[in-house]
Homo-oligomer: A and B are copies of this chain.
Amino acid sequence: MPERDLHFLTELAAQLRVDSVRSSAAAGSGHPTSSLSAADLMAVLFACHLRYDFDRPDDPGNDHLIFSKGHASPLLYALFKAAGAIDDEELLSFRRRGSRLEGHPTPRLPWVDVATGSLGQGLPVGVGMAMAGRLERLPYRVWVLCGDGELAEGSVWEAAEHAGDEGLANLTLIVDVNRLGQRGPTRHGWDTGAYARRFGAFGWRTIEIDGHDPGEIDFAFGDARNTRRRPTVILAKTRKGEGVLEVENREGAHGKALRDPETAVGELGGSRNITLRVHRPESTAVPHRFEDGPLTLPEYDVGTRVATRTAFGEALAALGAARGDVVALDGEVADSTKVEEFAKAFPERFFEMYIAEQQLVAAAVGMQARGWVPYAATFAAFLTRAHDFIRMAAVSRASIRLVGSHAGVAIGEDGPSQMGLEDLAMMRPVYGSVVLYPCDANQTAALTAQTADLPGVTYLRTTRGDTPVIYPPGERFPVGGSRVLRHSPTDRATIVAAGVTVHEALAAADELAEQGVPVGVIDLYSVKPVDVAALTAAATTTGNLITVEDHRPEGGLGDAVLDAVGELGPRVVKLAVRGLPGSATPRQQLADARIDRRAIVEAVRRLL
């Protein structure tokens, strides 16, 4: 590397360090030491290797950079300033109320694709972006910067396995091996060989370097760009707090503004004002997309019996024919979730993520950042494995569609490990989420198609067993709506149900009607947002609501109803799964959980 370039990179890195110290000092908090260790790595990346048009963050030819170590946000924002994307005034607004420069990066900044801050998520999301690049036949690269501490997260190894096995050569992981975690030394310290052995075993090209040597860094990035058929990990030995004596390579200096920022800035040679021209992508890239066509949803005859998971699978395949931007991912259970219908029809747009639910959801997040419309499915119970990724998807303003099959005790003999009984409670608190729980095949098909256009995190809950088709094909089921299935002016109570319990509620209502007790039935297929108007009407007319759900009593349908009518104060009785189920037939399970027709009848009689 010529001396002139070397000098420039050193100066640029010094500026990044100075600005990291300054912004943290202005905020009075933050992670300057974690920023200092990676400054040389990022200086070389931005100056020599990244292809990114800061004026056009949506340019499909742009590289993607994910700061998986999101706490190093001072460094990221210093880079944005160096690239001319933000000014110094904004830099110093770091961590202040209303500032786009949050403690951890979020897509409030147009140059940030996904939120980070929960460690071990950047690489799995980057895998999704790299998968998209292959699908789009574009030469962009995905660069992920992560810390050494976060390599302890299993999600990193789910990603390592997927990327290695798929040979995602457009993916480069840069590990800032600064040896120190939050509390103390990491497991492997500066033993980059320990990490190299692991990544190498997972099929990656590995490069070990001195992360403060611009020449070595430049060479490694070039090597990564030229590596074919394999992803590359660059294991860079660094010192936390590099360049500032107060904190350099010291324990106890994590996540704090420096005590003496002025001295630190002096040590680093003072403020600079370098503006960098980051290389733009070489030409206007046009991502490959698949063809659109007419949407022909499957239709099911009223009175037949079809599992909602089957209807979902068939509707997803229909949606795939209609929209070339729809992709589907599954956690090695596509024959159960019925995503296999899509997989058979559109193998190029189906992604087998194997039994790795964190990577399953992360890949969906990564792909939607590239404009794809992903559906990710597994058993409802196993989506809990990805809870943190779902939570962070909301912070990322990601639009993903999750589908959980085998909901509730209704699955029968397989027992509690396989039963999604906490999934509604997990999905409802997710910021901006939509939670849908259809009870019949035509409703499922309609909702599946609708979710393609919904922003945010959408969840569709499906049932394993066959249920009667009660709605004719072609009906509309708006998100936030409900269906009144039984209603008379003399109703003494209203049963609110969704999914499998709708059919129990209908049977109970029929039985009660025969006994001279008219009750209403509402199909609350949209658990969030919930149909406050319909529930209010029921609450004010009958004053008595019975909710019944194949889910735990906490956080599900019943809580959604209580929340909707809480300020009105009707009497609400909640039927839900309170015990710990074992094995039994589906019908026995519903009876044992006291959410079947008999239990509903009894609850109504007790309430009145």
Task: Report the separation of the CA atoms of residues A579 and B98 in the bound assembly, to the nearest whole angstrom.
Answer: 13
Q: A455 contacts the other chain (Cβ, under 8 Å)? A: no
Nearest-CB distance from A277 to chain B (Å)?
30
Q: A239 contacts the other chain (Cβ, under 8 Å)? A: no
Residues of B with C-beta under 8 A to A555: 425, 428-429, 554-555, 559
Residues of B with C-beta under 8 A to A394: 580
Closest B residue to A584 by beta carbon equals: B97
Residues of B with C-beta under 8 A to A583: 95-97, 99, 101-103
Q: A240 contacts the other chain (Cβ, under 8 Å)? A: no
A429 touches B421 (CB 8 A): yes
Q: Do A181 and B332 form a contact, CB below 8 Å, given A157-B154, A568-B571?
A: yes
Q: Chain A contact residues (Cβ within 8 angstroms of B): what range?
A: 35 or more
Which chain A residues (165-181) contact chain B, with CB distance < 8 Å?
165, 181
A186 touches B554 (CB 8 A): no
Residues of B with C-beta under 8 A to A335: 182-183
Query: Counting chain B CB atoms within 10 Å of each CB, which of A102, A165, A200, A391 scores highest?
Result: A391
Q: Do A417 and B116 form a contact, CB below 8 Å, given A354-B152, A358-B154, A583-B99?
A: yes
Choice from B153, B354, B573 contacting A355 with Cβ under 8 Å: B153
Residues of B with C-beta under 8 A to A351: none
Q: Mark A570-598, 1 if CB is under 8 A from B, else 0.
A: 11111000011011110010001000000
Residues of B with C-beta under 8 A to A70: 417
Q: Mark A94-120, 1 if CB is under 8 A from B, else 0.
A: 011111011110101000000111111
Closest B residue to A198 by beta carbon equals: B201
A415 touches B103 (CB 8 A): yes
Task: Report the separation of the CA atoms of residues A201 and B151 in the bound assembly, to the nearest whole angstrom.
Answer: 14
Which chain A residues (377-424) contact chain B, with CB distance < 8 Å?
381-382, 384-385, 387-388, 391-392, 394-395, 413-418, 421-422
Q: A27 contacts the other chain (Cβ, under 8 Å)? A: yes
Task: Report the separation of the CA atoms of residues A30 and B414 in the bound assembly, to the nearest whole angstrom.
Answer: 8
Residues of B with C-beta under 8 A to A588: 97
A333 touches B183 (CB 8 A): yes
Nearest-CB distance from A482 to chain B (Å)?
18
Residues of B with C-beta under 8 A to A430: 422
Q: A563 contacts the other chain (Cβ, under 8 Å)? A: yes
Closest B residue to A188 by beta carbon equals: B165
Nearest-CB distance from A353 to chain B (Å)?
8
A381 touches B385 (CB 8 A): no
Task: Report the separation of the CA atoms of residues A357 and B101 in the bound assembly, to the nearest whole angstrom.
Answer: 28
B570 touches A569 (CB 8 A): yes
B354 touches A186 (CB 8 A): yes
Residues of B with C-beta under 8 A to A181: 332, 354-355
Task: Report the separation of the CA atoms of residues A17 and B334 in the bound assembly, to the nearest whole angstrom.
Answer: 28
Q: A341 contacts the other chain (Cβ, under 8 Å)? A: no
Which chain A residues (548-569) contact chain B, with CB distance < 8 Å?
551-556, 558-560, 562-563, 566-569
Q: A324 contacts the other chain (Cβ, under 8 Å)? A: no
Q: Do A416 and B395 form a contact, CB below 8 Å, given A333-B182, A422-B429, A563-B559?
A: yes
Which chain A residues (147-162) contact chain B, with CB distance < 8 Å?
149-150, 152-158, 161
Q: Do A388 and B395 form a contact, CB below 8 Å, given A417-B118, A563-B554, A580-B431?
A: no
A332 touches B183 (CB 8 A): yes
Residues of B with C-beta under 8 A to A352: 183
A355 touches B120 (CB 8 A): yes
Q: A541 contacts the other chain (Cβ, under 8 Å)? A: no
Residues of B with C-beta under 8 A to A573: 566-567
Q: A528 contacts the other chain (Cβ, under 8 Å)? A: yes
Task: Report the separation of the CA atoms of residues A103 and B414 in the bound assembly, to the nearest whole angstrom.
Answer: 4
Q: A542 contacts the other chain (Cβ, under 8 Å)? A: no
A161 touches B165 (CB 8 A): no
Nearest-CB distance from A496 to chain B (Å)?
12
Residues of B with C-beta under 8 A to A30: 413
A117 touches B417 (CB 8 A): yes
Query: Counting chain B CB atoms within 10 Å of each CB, which of A422, A556, A583 scores highest?
Result: A583
A552 touches B429 (CB 8 A): yes
Nearest-CB distance from A213 to chain B (Å)?
26
Pull 19 A–B residue pairs with CB atoms less than 8 Å apart, ordered by A.
Answer: A29-B413, A29-B414, A97-B583, A103-B413, A120-B355, A154-B155, A182-B336, A183-B332, A183-B333, A183-B352, A186-B354, A197-B201, A198-B201, A385-B388, A387-B426, A395-B580, A425-B425, A429-B554, A563-B574
Q: What 3 pairs across the A-B complex have the smallest Cβ distances?
A: A154-B154, A117-B417, A555-B555
A-B contact sample (8 more), CB < 8 A, given A115-B417, A154-B155, A422-B430: A99-B582, A103-B413, A104-B418, A120-B355, A152-B354, A387-B387, A421-B429, A559-B563
